[in-house]
Structure 1
Amino acid sequence: MTGLGISTRDLTIRYGDTVAVDSLDLTLAPGKIYGLLGRNGSGKTSLLAVLAAFRSATSGTVRVGGEDPFENAAIMSQIAFVRDKVDAQDSDKVSSILDLAATLRPNWDAGYAERLIERFDLPRRKRLSALSRGMKSALSVTLGLAARAPLTIFDEAYLGLDAPSRYAFYDEVLNDYLAHPRTIVLSTHLIEEVGSLFEEVVIVHRGRLVAHEESEALRTRGTAVTGPAAAVDAFVAGRTVLGSQQLGGTRSTTILGPLDDTDRAAARTTGLELGPVGLQDLFVHLTATAGSAEIVDKEAGR
């Protein structure tokens, strides 16, 4: 099992007059862990719902494993869409929810499910309505991991977990992915916590694609330039500026784009400090900039 690839072309999703996803072109190769980032209302969940065949696109094309997933039983059985709520009745017991998953998921690993139940201390005999939010999140991630679906999507499913349980989940994602490669999409606001898992990062803003790059390549595209305001302004002139802050006579400006040895030497000569920009900070800058998609396209020469 190496996972399912994803492709969208001119994908648009509308709710009445609201455009949730706007002419999105995206290609995700199979067998990688992807981070899907976006602010509230960016269109992330709408995009994931279409990929998981929970709803149809308004227009454009969607392909998962080379096929349209909507009302496609063969593809749908290969997709696990794990959200922040368990898709079951409140009266269902944890044990019966797991039993149902075992009958529906062709790759279900009952032994792994049992190990996850123990790790998250899930009460098998309790009904869903009696579970705390944290226990519901633990059940959700257990269902997603043990399904071992070729395309597994976690849409903020782990937000209810406490910090130790979240880190346990991250460990499980990485270790089980290495043992059983598949395509995993993690949609999250906890970027610094989970960012080390991402092989590639997809950023959407206002329904449009802002960035799609390998995680390390994206991190190196942002640089914080700090020093005397006049020197900073001279250094960043002509570059793509994402944001700037000033305290007294010192300014820190975030720029997008690569720096070569000549640039770094010039910065040292003028007393400037060049620092990395964390993935979360870079995300904030990219999605806070008006027309951010156009700025990234311009910087990348597209």
Structure 2
Amino acid sequence: MSFTVNLRSVTLEYGAEPALADVDLDLEAGKIYGLLGRNGAGKTSLLSLLAAFRKPTSGEVLVGGEPVWENAPIVSRVALIREGGDFDDTETVKGTIESGQIRPSFDTDYAFALADRFEVPLKKRVNALSRGKRSVLAALCGLAARAELTMFDEVHLGMDAPTRDAFYKELLAEYMDRPHTVILSTHLIDEVANYLEEVVIVDKGRILRHADIETFQGMGATLTGPAAAVDALGLEPLAEQRLGGTKSITVAALDAAARERAAAAGIEVGPVGLQDLFIHLTAPQDRNGA
């Protein structure tokens, strides 16, 4: 089973400033979503509402079709894993994993298997772990929670590249074995792009874009070919790279005429990188309509 997510006119205020303002969002059950946004955009606030860590100032937050606030049966099947985890620092890793049994679906055997695979020492106290190992402990507890809605909020921070790659692959394997709803909040966009089915971009407390990954990739293009031929197209790049006489640029939009000119010039046209597109969509000049 997996949970749907529905927000209706949700506002969350901290003092006089809204962290989220009049947010409407619908997420189907059983998909992997990417939650993207610049620092302070409202990503963590949104996840905190879904986990019932906070109550909205106004509006309605539904998980699995039910209000999540003060709804213990629903909350017990939701897991929000934050960077570094929410642990008792004086507890051992072994004790931390065993305490996960308070969740009805927590798979202790799976958690211990992951701890062994990722080489997290069971006898060490949490406060003695390196930042990377603590991040792994948080991640493996999130996977082992076997929740219907599992959310990872920058949980990868502190992990090295090989460990992050192993985590993403394990996340996908667990998802394929047990379809459920997953939300990944991350700044390492290109690393996770291939695992995502839909992307939600939050900007200044509002939903800027929500679409499937193919729609985002179709919004722009990457063009690669002889540098002179690429320059001759006269397109404004979001990003560019050059190696010898070959040049690659990313553009936010490419009309049919430009595609034909590129093909005639022997230029290869591919999908836009999600990270480049995200940077473009959330750039201050674009947000201000300049």
TM-score computed with the length of structure 1 as normaliser: 0.84
Aligned: 1:214 with 2:212: yes
- 1-side partners of 2:142 and 2:41: how far apart? 24
Which residue type is aligned with residue 259 of structure 2?
Answer: R
- 2-side partners of 1:42 and 1:170: how far apart? 24
Partner of 2:155, secondary structure, is: coil
Aligned: 1:276 with 2:271: yes
**Alignment partner, residue 103 of structure 2:** 105
**Alignment partner, residue 117 of structure 1:** 115
Shift of 1:276: 3.2
Q: CA RMSD in A?
A: 2.7
Partner of 2:234, secondary structure, is: helix
Deviates more, 1:58-67 or 1:282-291: 282-291
Matches within 5 A, 1:43-62: 43-62=42-61
Aligned: 1:168 with 2:170: no
Structure 1 pair 156–230 and aligned structure 2 pair: CA distance change class (3 A): same
Aligned: 1:91 with 2:90: yes
**Alignment partner, residue 255 of structure 1:** 252
Partner of 1:129, secondary structure, is: helix
**Alignment partner, residue 138 of structure 2:** 140
**Alignment partner, residue 285 of structure 1:** 280
Partner deviation per Cα, 1:238-289 (whole Å, 9 max, x = no partner)? xxx89588x9xx99672347x44x5522555689875532011011101115
- 1-side partners of 2:231 and 2:211: how far apart? 31
- 1-side partners of 2:133 and 2:149: how far apart? 24
- 2-side partners of 1:293 and 1:49: how far apart? 28
Shift of 1:198: 0.4
Matches within 5 A, 1:218-233: 218-224=216-222, 232=234
Aligned: 1:150 with 2:134: no
Which residue type is aligned with residue 70 of structure 1?
Answer: W
**Alignment partner, residue 42 of structure 1:** 41
Shift of 1:91: 1.1
Contact 1:232 1:253 in 2 (8 A): no
Structure 1 pair 93–269 and aligned structure 2 pair: CA distance change class (3 A): closer
Deviates more, 1:157-166 or 1:185-194: 157-166
**Alignment partner, residue 6 of structure 2:** 7
**Alignment partner, residue 178 of structure 1:** 176
Count of equivalent residues: 282
Partner deviation per Cα, 1:145-176 (whole Å, 9 max, x = no partner)? 00110000000112111111111101100001
Deviates more, 1:88-97 or 1:70-79: 88-97
Shift of 1:67: 1.0
- 2-side partners of 1:95 and 1:63: how far apart? 34
Contact 2:98 2:108 in 1 (8 A): no
Structure 1 pair 279–230 and aligned structure 2 pair: CA distance change class (3 A): same
**Alignment partner, residue 200 of structure 1:** 198
Structure 1 pair 268–22 and aligned structure 2 pair: CA distance change class (3 A): same
- 2-side partners of 1:38 and 1:101: how far apart? 30
Partner of 2:60, secondary structure, is: strand
Between the aligned residues of both structures, percent identity stands at 46
Structure 1 pair 23–291 and aligned structure 2 pair: CA distance change class (3 A): farther
Which residue type is aligned with residue 66 of structure 1?
Answer: G
Structure 1 pair 277–232 and aligned structure 2 pair: CA distance change class (3 A): same
- 1-side partners of 2:83 and 2:46: how far apart? 16
**Alignment partner, residue 62 of structure 2:** 63
- 1-side partners of 2:269 and 2:249: how far apart? 10
Which residue type is aligned with residue 162 of structure 2?
Answer: P
Which residue type is aligned with residue 72 of structure 1?
Answer: N
* Runs of 5+ consecutive residues of structure 2 not aligned to the other structure: none
Contact 1:201 1:215 in 2 (8 A): yes
- 1-side partners of 2:263 and 2:53: how far apart? 54
Shift of 1:59: 1.1
TM-score computed with the length of structure 2 as normaliser: 0.87
- 2-side partners of 1:169 and 1:271: how far apart? 39
Structure 1 pair 273–96 and aligned structure 2 pair: CA distance change class (3 A): closer
Contact 1:242 1:256 in 2 (8 A): no
Partner of 1:165, secondary structure, is: helix
